[in-house]
Amino acid sequence: MRSFEEIEALAADKKGGPDALRALLDEHNAPRPVAELETVGDDRWLAMFTKCVFQAGFSWKVIEQKWPGFEDAFEGFDVARLAFLPDEAFEALLKDTRIVRNGAKIKSVQHNAIFLKDLAAEHGSAARFFATYPVDDQVGLMELLKKRGSRLGGNTGQIALRFMGKESFILSGDVVNALIRENVIENDRMSKKNLAAIQAAFNDWKTTSGRPMNEISRILAFSVGTGH
């Protein structure tokens, strides 16, 4: 595994130099401070989980265009209300043209509302739990999202964390290819062994580079992606 400084130089070379790489990194917002992230309403976490679930395997542009309708149809993503969604409300949503009428994904909204309600009972708020969860154990958080959430495994949960402002990495195809190239992992299977190795590598690069996980994963992706 080479130093992160070398990986960053490789990414800069592919993207047209250090200034070009810096500009690409600046296009995306930095992670939110923990104290700020703690203040986000749990309804916004449910909204983001829902958006990412519906975007998975579908056109992100369509979901974005229809999103105001989602907010209306799910009445602002009130966690307490949606956790106890009655059957007749679910049936109505299946016919609601304001949203994408995918029954399994609609049902996941209720399941994730229950998940968030339980986290709030355990930690004061779901937002507090996510905000304070240790960055150096993201794979543990990914496992929790997969086990306790609905349809939040794989990249869906990772993308939701990133969009909410939680410092995090995303194991995109390019990032995984970079990890294989750096001999962090031997293949693209997300086994416990590979995930532990990935977390250790990110923790090391974060310490040595001083960069947040967001930037580390994007630089890794840029280091194997297409040139400028």
pLDDT at 88: 95
Decide if 37 contacts 164 (C-beta within 8 A).
yes
Same domain, 189 and 117: no
Last residue of a domain, one of 138, 164, 190: 164
Residue 8 lies in a domain: yes
Domain boundary among 149, 164, 179: 164
Q: What integer pLDDT is reported at residue 63 of this predicted model?
A: 97
41 shares a domain with 25: no
The span from the CA of 179 to the CA of 220, in Å, is: 8
CATH code of the domain in which 99 resides? 1.10.340.30
Q: Is residue 216 part of a domain?
A: yes
Overall domain count for the chain: 2
| 8 and 44 both lie in a single domain | no
Show the tokens assigned to 150. Answer: 């609905």
Q: Is residue 228 part of a domain?
A: no
- 195 domain residue, yes or no: yes
Give the Cα-Cα-Cα angle 143, 146, 149 (nearest 5 degrees).
125
Is the domain of 24 the same as that of 48?
no
* More confident: 1 or 32: 32
Judge if 127 and 194 occupy the same domain: no
pLDDT tens digit string along 77-120? 999 999 999 999 999 999 999 999 999 999 999 999 999 999 99
Which of 164, 191, 211 is where one domain is finished? 164
Q: ∠111-114-119 over CA atoms, to 5°? A: 130
pLDDT tens-digit series, residues 3-26: 899 999 999 999 999 999 999 998
User: Does residue 89 share a domain with residue 8?
Assistant: no
Same domain, 98 and 204: no
How would you write the chain as a 3-class SS string? CCCHHHHHHHHHHHHCCHHHHHHHHHCCCCCCCHHHHHCCCHHHHHHHHHHHHHHCCCCHHHHHHHHHHHHHHCHHHCHHHHHCCCHHHHHHHHCCCCCCCCHHHHHHHHHHHHHHHHHHHHHCCHHHHHHHCCHHHHHHHHHHHHHHCCCCCHHHHHHHHHHHCCCCCCCCHHHHHHHHHCCCCCCCCCCHHHHHHHHHHHHHHHHHHCCCHHHHHHHHHHCCCCCC
Domain interval for residue 81? 35-164
CA distance 131 to 32: 9
Q: Is 10 domain-assigned?
A: yes
pLDDT digits (tens, 9 = 90+) for 21-58: 999 998 776 899 999 999 999 999 999 999 999 999 99
> Do 108 and 40 belong together in one domain?
yes
Alpha carbon separation from 96 to 20, 88, 101, 197 (Å, rounded): 45, 12, 7, 45
Residues 159 and 48 in one domain: yes
Q: What percent of the chain has pLDDT over 70?
A: 98
Residue 184 lies inside a defined structural domain of this protein:
yes
pTM over 0.85: yes
Mean pLDDT of 170-187: 97
In a domain, 227, yes or no: no
* 143 in the same domain as 63: yes
pLDDT, residue 228, reads: 54
8 Å CB contact between 25 and 15 = no
pLDDT in tens, 125-167: 999 999 999 999 999 999 999 999 999 999 999 999 999 999 9
| Residue 227 pLDDT grade (very low, low, confident, very high; cuts 50, 70, 90) | low
Same-domain status, 67 and 135: yes
Q: Within a 13 Å sphere around the CA of 125, how many CA atoms are in the beta-carbon half?
A: 14
